[in-house]
Each structure stands twice: as structure tokens, then as C-alpha cells.
């Protein structure tokens, strides 16, 4: 069955990312827009109806808008919003002379917004083609012929042991564990070691990794997928790993493949991280050349190979069922569960989807033992977590901390508080769907269960500082705008509810009591009826915002 898995993959997706998304990317690069002829040709190649290809081409942000010879994407994510307000797009419009979603009169420049580009530590930011631009005076930088070099992501290990960042800090080399695994390891023993470690998913769901791997051991062939679609505005730790230590991610994916009994792995990387796409593909080629990937790896009877697929601009594609749809060239809509991806995933086969940060911790667990990992962190939530601090902090960047440390330690000791001239008004935890805490809530420990009790979700571990210059109404509209723009549209409660939320947000603080009543009814519908965590998460995030900013949004109550 191992060879069958290879054949099935090649037939459906092609080698080198030449599946449906790869073909659509190539068509978009050739012309200003993907045309009917492009869709017809691709449909013939992949043996699908043209309508199916038209659905994908019209769904993803990378294909829906116009593209010029010079394509500029401007970040409108939360950190950029805090650092520049709603001025980033107008600044780019004025500088480039083109409106978002269109091309200049001579066809040389096109402009689009993007909800996060992974430069939250140096916002505001934009991508000029594949060249990043970040920092103040964004309009002037777009006009400059020579863009200043954007600083690399700052990172620091503050846990007792460097785990996820062990490769970046020079504590360990990659591919040290993998030869031993294929030479004499057993899938059951690997799953047992990961279970002892208590390793849970780091993408937000916190699902036990060993349990997911065990559940994916159904009928062959099986797949493992690295979810590199880090879309939460405010989070950039996956970009750090994908660009700075791609081999550690690949080694973790290979170990996952062995533990699951999968012979194929896929790394799905969001298109907003073009450097990460290139470095992951180079790492895969180097790993093949070194004998870490391919047939009969390191003289064993185990075959394992990896493809890197570039996303096309969709936040919800980070949800595992939507991601699997995207990998197969469909619209990135979520799918009702059950069946779960571990039963019915990529190509209808059992599939284990793990976040990049999760996989980067796996080699350390096997090298040092699950018990050593379990000694880090908290008995309830073991190990370490990468947290991202945004541009407003004195010391922004990625920090590896142990679970259980107080948020105040992260914000004030590691981050150094806010930069001079700014006062912390709120802390956004876990991205737009995570929620907001007030400065009085910072003694809460970094534990998912405790944070959930405070009304927020840890999510991907981003911490965006909201200063007192941002008004409650501006922030509320920003959250609802993000929700409306990124809803996949698969279910009515989320598709319609996010638009209705935008309408209600414009009425604050006028008729606030009536708005609150109508909004609460909306929350109940979205929470109960939405298909995935996106639609169910928006109400909780907005409720936390209303709690923190109640004095501004409901001025008559105090």
C-alpha cells in the first residue's frame, strides 16, 4: 500500500506543488486575472469540472483580485491597525495611485489588503511582491526605490530548556533523531513517548498529539499534514520556524508520519509568507538529497516523502477541514464533523493534521524523553509555548516560555511593557478570536483552561498590546470587519451574522442598550449554529471586548 499512496498523491496533486492551487498561482502570475481559458485548461489537466475550478479561483483572495506587474499587499491586521489605525490602505492608495482590488491605469501596479503578513513585531507592514516593507511612514517606503531591510524576528528562550527553539538557538541540530526512529523505533513506542510528554496541539485546539496520531491509524494509505497557515493577526512564531528552522519542522513531520504509518506528508504554507514557502521547498530538496526523505529511508523499509503547497489567501483555511479542502484545490470551506480528518481526510484517507509549532517540539521530545518534557510547564499543561509580542511592546518578538507563567511576567518583564508614550488599555490574546483582557487581568497564568475561564482563548499564543489611543468603537469595528472579511461563508449563522455584527458595531454608543440586546441574540445564533470555531469564537471575542471597554461603549452605566 505504500507505493499506492505515492501513486494516488501524484495522480491527484502532482509533484512540486503543481496541484490545483499551484496551477492557479501560475495562471495568476501570467496575467492580470485568471481567465476562462485558464480555468478550462486547468480543468482538463486535473480532470475536474470548470465550475469547481471557478469556485476555487473566486474564493481565494490571491486569485479574486486584479494583479499588476507590481503587486502590493498591505497588512490590515490587528498589530498594524494599532500602530497605524485605518490609515495603511489610504496611505498605500495615495502612494501607488490605485485602489484595493484593482490595477493602475497602465496595468503596472495592483493593491490588496491582507489581514496579517507576519511582521507584527515591526508593524505597519506590506509586501511589495515578495519584498517586505515594515515600519513607520509606510507610504514613503512604498515610493522608495530601495526598501529598508526589515529586521529579523527577535526571539528568546526563557523556559528552563529550549525545546521548540532548540535549533534556532544552536542547542540542537535537526535530523539527529530521525535515523534512529526508522532504524529501530516502533510507531507504538513513539506515540507512547509523546503521550508521556503530554504534548498537545499548539494551533489553538490543544488536542493531545499522541491521541490524534493513534486515531489516524485507519485504513491505508494515510497522510500527515503540517499546518503552516498561521493566520491569526498578531502571531508570527510559525513564520519564524518555517523560515529559520525548516528542517526541524520537516523532521517532526517525518516522525509523525512514522508514528501514524503514513508515507506522504504535506506542508501547507500561507502565501502571505513567500520566504517561508521558498525555504521549506529548499529544505525538502536538501532532505531528499541527504537521504532523510524518499524510498527506503536510511536503509530501512519505510518510505516517506513531502510536498510543500502554497496557500492562496484565506484565514479559515487554517481550520483543518478547510485546509484539507484547500490542499485538494477546493474552496477553503469548513466541513461538518464527524467524520474527522483522522477518519476521512486528504483524498478521503486517514490524515493527521498538526500545527508547525507542535511538530517542531517532537524531535526534542524523542531525543530527551517524554518525562523530561512533562517536567516543564504545568502538571495540567506540560511543556513550553511560543508567545508573540507585538510592535507596541518595548521588546517585541517571539518568546519560548513554560506554561503557567503569569501574563504579567510576559507583558512587563519579557516585553518590558509598552514603548514610551503609550499606556496599555487592553491585551488581545490569541488573535481576533481569542479575546481581550484588561491590564487588571494580567496575573492570570498562561494556561488555556484558566484563560478560558476569564473569557479568552489562548489560540496560537499571540499577545497584541492595545494602547489607549485606540477607541473602543474603532477596535470593535476592526474585529467585526475581520470576521466579515474572513468568514468562509459555508454556514448562514457566520456568513450573515458577521455582516450583521458590522452593522451593529457602527451604532455604538448610540442606542447602546438596544444594540446590546440585538447583538446578544446574534451571539446566541452564531454560537449555536456555526459549523466551526471561527463563527463560534467571534461572539466570545466581542463579549470580552465589551467587558474591557464597557465604560466607553456604555457611558451611561457608570
Lowest mean pLDDT among 123-132, 161-170, 355-364, 515-524: 515-524
Lowest mean pLDDT among 83-87, 265-269, 482-486: 83-87
CA atoms within 13 A on the CB side of 391: 21
| pTM across the whole model | 0.94
The better pLDDT of the pair 373, 56 is held by 373
What is residue 447's three-state secondary structure? Answer: coil
Are 354 and 268 in contact by the 8 Å Cβ rule? The answer is no
pLDDT at 65: 73
Q: Kindly state the average pLDDT of the residues 238-254.
A: 98
What is residue 267's three-state secondary structure? Answer: strand
Q: In whole angstroms, what is the distance from residue 344 CA to residue 219 CA?
A: 10
pLDDT exceeds cutoff 80 at 120: yes
Lowest mean pLDDT among 145-149, 335-339, 508-512: 508-512
pLDDT at 558: 47
CA-to-CA dists, residue 525 to 193, 368, 436, 507, 538, angstroms: 42, 47, 22, 20, 11
Are 224 and 209 in contact by the 8 Å Cβ rule? The answer is no
Q: What's the mean pLDDT when you consider all of the chain?
A: 91
3-state helix/strand/coil string of 140-209:
HHHHCCCCCCCCCCCEEECCCCCCCCCCCCCCCCCCCCHHHHHHHCCHHHHHHHHHHHCCECCCCCCCEH
Q: Which residue bears the cell 451574522? A: 497
Dihedral sign for Cα atoms in the order 406, 410, 416, 419: negative
Residue 131: which pLDDT band, with cuts at 50, 70 and 90?
very high
What pLDDT, in 10s, does the model give residues 430-480? 998 899 999 999 999 999 999 999 999 999 899 999 999 999 999 999 999
| Termini Cα distance of the chain | 68
Residue 16: which pLDDT band, with cuts at 50, 70 and 90?
very low
Percent of the residues in the chain that have a pLDDT greater than 90, as a whole number: 67
Percent of the residues in the chain that have a pLDDT greater than 70, as a whole number: 96
pLDDT exceeds cutoff 50 at 319: yes
Are 366 and 388 in contact by the 8 Å Cβ rule? The answer is no
Q: Kindly state the average pLDDT of the residues 294-323.
A: 92
> 253: which 3 cell numbers?
513531520
Lowest mean pLDDT among 56-65, 260-269, 368-377: 56-65
> 160: which 3 cell numbers?
528552563
Residue 141: which pLDDT band, with cuts at 50, 70 and 90?
confident
pLDDT at 11: 54
φ/ψ (deg, to 5) at 297: -60, 125
What pLDDT, in 10s, does the model give residues 66-78? 788 889 999 999 9
Q: Kindly state the average pLDDT of the residues 16-26.
A: 78
Q: Which helix (H) or strand (E) holds 2?
A: helix 2-13
Q: Kindly state the average pLDDT of the residues 181-192.
A: 95
Residue 10: which pLDDT band, with cuts at 50, 70 and 90?
low
Residue 17: which pLDDT band, with cuts at 50, 70 and 90?
very low
Q: Kindly state the average pLDDT of the residues 394-403.
A: 98
Angle formed at CA 85 by CA 238 and CA 480, multiple of 5 degrees: 70
Q: In whole angstroms, what is the distance from residue 66 CA to residue 552 CA?
A: 40
pLDDT at 79: 95
pLDDT at 18: 57
Strand partners, 465: 427
pLDDT at 1: 42
pLDDT exceeds cutoff 90 at 551: no
Most confident of 44-48, 308-312, 369-373: 369-373
Q: Kindly state the average pLDDT of the residues 266-276.
A: 95
DSSP 8-state class, residue 419:
P
What pLDDT, in 10s, does the model give residues 216-229? 999 999 999 999 99
Q: Kindly state the average pLDDT of the residues 72-93.
A: 89
Residue 104: which pLDDT band, with cuts at 50, 70 and 90?
confident
pLDDT at 362: 98
Lowest mean pLDDT among 185-199, 272-286, 507-521: 507-521
Q: In whole angstroms, what is the distance from residue 401 CA to residue 82 CA?
A: 25
Strand partners, 208: 200
Residue 29: which pLDDT band, with cuts at 50, 70 and 90?
confident
What order of strands is seen across the sheet that includes strand 131-134? 109-114, 70-75, 125-128, 131-134
pLDDT exceeds cutoff 80 at 15: no
pLDDT at 329: 87
Amino acid at each position: 500500500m505504500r507505493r499506492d499512496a505515492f501513486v494516488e498523491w501524484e495522480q491527484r496533486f502532482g509533484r512540486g506543488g503543481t496541484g490545483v492551487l499551484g496551477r492557479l498561482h501560475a495562471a495568476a502570475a501570467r496575467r492580470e486575472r485568471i481567465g476562462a481559458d485558464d480555468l478550462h485548461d486547468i480543468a482538463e489537466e486535473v480532470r475536474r469540472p470548470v465550475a469547481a475550478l471557478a469556485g476555487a479561483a473566486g474564493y481565494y483572495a490571491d486569485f479574486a483580485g486584479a494583479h499588476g506587474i507590481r503587486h502590493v499587499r498591505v497588512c490590515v491586521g490587528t498589530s498594524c491597525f494599532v500602530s497605524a489605525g485605518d490609515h495603511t490602505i489610504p496611505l498605500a492608495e495615495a502612494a501607488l495611485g490605485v485602489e484595493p482590488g484593482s490595477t493602475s491605469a497602465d496595468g503596472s501596479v495592483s493593491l490588496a489588503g491582507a489581514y496579517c503578513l507576519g511582521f507584527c513585531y515591526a508593524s505597519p507592514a506590506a509586501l511589495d511582491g515578495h519584498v517586505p516593507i515594515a515600519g513607520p511612514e509606510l507610504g514613503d517606503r512604498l515610493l522608495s526605490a530601495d526598501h529598508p531591510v526589515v529586521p529579523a524576528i527577535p526571539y528568546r528562550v526563557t523556559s528552563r530548556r529550549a525545546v521548540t527553539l532548540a535549533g534556532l538557538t544552536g542547542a540542537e541540530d535537526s535530523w539527529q533523531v530521525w535515523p534512529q526512529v526508522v532504524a529501530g523505533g516502533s510507531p507504538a513506542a513513539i506515540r507512547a513517548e509523546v503521550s508521556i510528554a503530554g504534548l498537545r496541539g499548539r494551533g489553538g485546539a490543544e488536542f493531545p498529539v499522541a491521541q490524534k496520531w493513534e486515531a489516524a491509524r485507519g485504513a491505508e494509505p494515510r497522510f500527515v499534514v503540517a499546518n503552516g497557515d498561521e493566520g491569526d493577526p498578531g502571531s508570527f512564531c510559525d513564520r519564524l520556524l518555517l523560515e529559520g528552522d525548516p528542517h526541524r519542522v520537516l523532521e517532526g513531520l517525518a516522525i509523525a508520519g512514522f508514528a501514524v504509518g503514513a508515507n506522504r506528508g504535506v506542508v501547507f504554507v500561507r502565501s502571505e509568507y513567500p520566504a517561508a514557502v521558498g525555504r521549506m521547498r529548499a529544505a525538502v530538496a536538501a532532505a531528499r538529497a541527504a537521504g532523510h526523505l524518499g524510498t527506503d529511508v536510511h536503509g530501512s523499509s519505510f518510505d516517506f516523502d513531502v510536498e510543500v503547497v502554497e496557500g492562496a489567501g484565506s484565514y479559515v483555511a487554517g481550520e483543518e477541514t478547510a485546509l484539507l479542502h484547500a490542499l485538494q484545490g477546493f474552496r477553503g470551506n469548513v466541513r461538518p464533523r464527524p467524520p474527522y480528518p483522522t477518519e476521512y481526510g486528504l483524498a478521503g484517507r486517514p490524515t493527521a493534521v498538526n500545527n508547525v509549532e507542535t511538530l517542531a517540539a517532537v524531535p526534542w521530545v524523542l531525543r530527551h524523553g517524554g518525562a523530561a518534557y512533562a517536567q516543564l510547564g504545568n502538571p495540567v499543561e506540560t511543556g513550553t509555548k511560543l508567545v508573540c509580542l507585538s510592535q507596541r511592546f518595548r521588546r517585541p518578538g517571539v518568546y519560548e516560555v513554560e506554561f503557567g507563567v503569569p501574563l504579567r511576567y510576559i507583558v512587563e518583564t519579557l516585553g518590558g511593557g509598552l514603548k514610551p508614550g503609550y499606556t496599555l488599555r487592553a491585551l488581545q490574546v490569541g488573535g481576533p478570536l481569542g479575546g481581550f483582557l484588561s491590564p487588571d487581568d494580567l496575573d492570570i497564568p498562561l494556561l488555556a483552561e484558566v484563560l478560558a475561564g476569564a473569557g479568552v482563548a489562548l489560540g496560537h499564543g499571540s499577545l497584541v498590546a492595545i494602547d489607549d489611543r485606540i477607541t473602543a468603537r474603532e477596535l470593535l469595528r476592526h474585529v467585526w470587519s475581520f470576521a466579515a472579511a474572513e468568514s468562509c461563508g459555508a454556514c448562514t449563522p457566520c456568513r450573515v451574522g458577521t455582516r450583521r455584527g458590522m452593522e451593529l458595531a457602527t451604532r455604538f454608543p448610540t442606542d447602546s442598550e438596544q444594540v446590546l440586546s440585538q447583538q446578544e441574540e446574534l451571539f446566541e445564533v452564531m454560537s449555536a449554529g456555526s459549523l466551526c470555531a471561527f463563527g463560534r469564537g467571534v461572539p466570545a471575542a466581542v463579549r470580552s471586548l465589551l467587558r474591557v471597554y464597557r465604560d466607553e461603549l456604555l457611558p451611561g452605566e457608570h
